[in-house]
Amino acid sequence: DFSLLEKNFLLGAAYGINEPFDGSLKNENILEAFLRCQLNDWIYLSPHVQILNNAFGQADNYFLTAFRTQINF
């Protein structure tokens, strides 16, 4: 019997600004969020999302997703 409502969850978020040495480039802004779910005593699942604004100092924007599995022995 498996129920997600009985499992431990962790929600996290971060925001950062990278200021380039080259004054002709823009500041890069990064926003990240994740949710970690403990499935049992040793397995965790965690989907992540990241938003990058002015990536690499250019006017490019990116939306990234990832899925992490952690196994503790």
Q: Going by DSSP bridges, is the β-strand pair 60-71/43-55 parallel, antiparallel, or unpaired?
A: antiparallel
* Position 14 pLDDT exceeds 60: yes
* pLDDT(2) > 60: no
Q: What is the mean pLDDT of residues 13-19?
A: 94
Q: Is the pLDDT of residue 41 over 70?
A: yes
pLDDT of residue 6: 65
**How does 40-59 read in b/e, with b if 16+ C-beta sit within 10 Å?**
eeeebebeeeeebebbebee
Residue 16 pLDDT grade (very low, low, confident, very high; cuts 50, 70, 90): very high
Q: Span 7-14, mean pLDDT?
A: 88
